[in-house]
Amino acid sequence: MKNIAILFFVTIMVSCSSNAPQAEVSPGLTKDQLAPTLKKIAETGKYDTVLEDLTIGLENAGHMEEAVSVQNFPELSDPEDVKKLASKLADSLSK
């Protein structure tokens, strides 16, 4: 009976661990892509498709304050406010 319990436990462990899907994590934007992406957002006010990659890229490049700032884009109700903040951030990266 003990052997059956061990066999059952091992079977469950093997089946659970081998079929688990792996989550993919974006590598983010490269350092060279950060300022141009922010400039594009400053022109268009659209950020939805690049927000995650932009945030990860900023974090990877050591721009933690800027990464926090871009996470505030969804909270800004006026697209003009998004454009202003993106322009300010692009300028700070260009310095």
Q: How far apart are CA 87 and CA 18, in angstroms?
A: 47
Q: What is the pLDDT of residues 37-93, one digit of tens each?
A: 999 999 999 999 999 999 999 999 999 999 999 999 999 989 999 999 999 999 999
Asked if 28 and 61 touch (Cβ cutoff 8 Å), the reply is: no
How many CA within 13 A on the CB side of residue 85? 21
Give the pTM.
Answer: 0.74
18 pLDDT above the threshold of 60: no
pLDDT the model gives residue 31: 95
Reply yes or no on whether the pLDDT at 16 is more than 90.
no
Q: Work out the average pLDDT over 11-23.
A: 61
Q: Give the model's pLDDT for residue 26.
A: 83
